[in-house]
Amino acid sequence: MSKRTSSAILMSLYSLSAAAQEEGTVRLGKFDFKPVLTTDVAHIDNVTYASENDENKTSWVTVISPEVSAYTTVDGHDITMGYRLERGEYHASHADNYTDHFAHIKGNFTISDRHRLVAKFQHEAGHDERGRRFSNGFGNALTAVDTYKNNEVSTIYSYGAVSSFGKVDLSAAYETLDYDNDSELYLIRDRSATKVGAEFTYRLFDGTNLIVDADRNDINYDISTSPNKPLDSTEHSILAGVSWNVNAATNSFAKLGYKEKTFDAATRDDFSGMAWEVGMRWLPYSYSQLTFSTKQDTRETNGEADFIRSRDYAAMWEHSWLERFSTTATLAFMNDEYVGDVEDLRDDEATKVTMQADYVFRRWLTVGLYYSLSQRNSNRQEIEYDRSVYGVMAKVNL
């Protein structure tokens, strides 16, 4: 689910010391605060992602997104934190109104030349739009958006000097997902995940690195509709590849490997197969950038089957035509194959095209126009949809 999120309310008495302060920030004690306000007004021609056989709701929506980030340094370690708020008001479909909250805190700790640590906590009180995820195909039947709480704490320990040939990153994370609807039908999605991993990077020669990473992910669901057949599972993956920087204008990486998913329930079929991650960034000119990425992996189910086998492809072109005028175009394609011992397994193909043009009227004011077209084709006609959105965005900072 893609969202524009911004955050939150700040108003205090500030005394600006204009001498050594970054534009757009204010100093309060030992912290630099950066407030931003983003406002969108958009028209959506299919609010609930309905198929052509269902009622199609159209509406204008106003999204107000205040945001504040704070930065400080403690004993040479960088600390950042932020709070974001997003309020969406649908003019002709009040059931789709929402208020989302986002918060995070992150610390970058440099212990020595060879030892570094990054720790992060993030919280999201978000929502799924009607017709998305669990409510695919029956969004019109819901009387409100589907809200949830998502919390994650993660850490990465790095060993190896920046100039050394080899580096090891050890990571650990714990994540919880809890939906607010307390009916058993909805609560079957609530789960937690504990993930540990290691990545080894070795410099083969200037600009080219060998990468090997391995992960283990333990996924546990709170409840199951079939007590003898829970969706709890353990995933293991290992990928190997290279990253290379041909020059300052080209950065790429490619990793190929193997993944297996083992269910606690013997009645569910385990999975093993190929996984990959590939990405490339190319700057043909200093004012133009192309980005490509693709990934094959597994995702957790959203209410049916055992899991989802996914393949994603994306391309982006960012171009600055003038000093103040730029455009961004993206194309994304996703294939989701539902796997499991159920009848009428789904196979979806989704495509999304987005175009945006931004003009910087002042250092503190950016205005943009955007348009997106998304569609899903499936072997289930009731979850197919076409959806277009066009709107205007204004971003204001100090």
Separation between Cα atoms, residue 398 and residue 388, nearest integer Å: 33
pLDDT at residue number 187:
82
Report yes or no on 313 lying in a domain.
yes
pLDDT tens digits, residue range 119-161?
999 999 999 999 998 899 899 999 999 999 999 999 999 999 8
pLDDT tens digits, residue range 293-304?
999 999 998 777
pLDDT at residue number 340:
84
CATH of the domain at 360: 2.40.160
pLDDT at residue number 238:
98
Give the count of beta carbons closer than 10 Å to the beta carbon of residue 286: 9
Helices (H) and strands (E) in the chain, counts: 1, 19
Please report which confidence band the pLDDT of residue 353 belongs to, taking 50, 70 and 90 as the band edges.
Answer: very high
Report yes or no on 2 lying in a domain.
no
Report yes or no on 13 lying in a domain.
no
pLDDT tens digits, residue range 21-40?
466 788 888 899 999 999 99
Report yes or no on 192 lying in a domain.
yes
Mean pLDDT (the chain) is 90
Percent of the chain with pLDDT over 70: 93
Separation between Cα atoms, residue 180 and residue 161, nearest integer Å: 45
User: Burial of 36 by CB count in 10 Å (0-12 exposed, 13-18 middle, 19+ buried)?
Assistant: buried
pTM for this structure? 0.89
**Alpha carbon distances (Å) from 308 to 214, 299, 302:** 21, 5, 9
Of 5-14, 134-143, 328-337, the least confident: 5-14
Structure tokens that stand for 5 in this block: 């999120």
Mean pLDDT calculated for residue range 97-105 = 98
pLDDT tens digits, residue range 279-297?
999 999 999 999 999 999 9
pLDDT at residue number 361:
94
pLDDT tens digits, residue range 173-211?
999 999 998 877 778 889 999 999 999 999 998 889 999
DSSP 286-331: TTEEEEEEEEEEEEE-SSSSSEEEEEEEEEEEEEESSSSEEEEEEE
Total structural domains within the chain: 1
Report yes or no on 10 lying in a domain.
no
Report yes or no on 266 lying in a domain.
yes
pLDDT at residue number 11:
31
Report yes or no on 349 lying in a domain.
yes
pLDDT tens digits, residue range 208-228?
999 999 999 999 999 887 778
pLDDT at residue number 4:
36
Least Cα distance to 374 among 38, 47, 134, 4 occurs for 47
Please report which confidence band the pLDDT of residue 162 belongs to, taking 50, 70 and 90 as the band edges.
Answer: confident
Mean pLDDT calculated for residue range 90-97 = 97
Report yes or no on 4 lying in a domain.
no
DSSP 47-114: TT---TTS----EEEEEEEEEEEEEEEETTEEEEEEEEEEEEEESS-GGG-EEEEEEEEEEEEE-SSS
| Domain extent for 175 | 18-397
Question: 């730029």: which residue's tokens?
Answer: 326
Question: 């294939």: which residue's tokens?
Answer: 335
Query: Is the model's pLDDT at 12 over the cut of 60?
Result: no
Separation between Cα atoms, residue 270 and residue 296, nearest integer Å: 17
Structure-model confidence comparison of residues 10 and 205, the more confident one: 205
Length in residues, the chain: 398
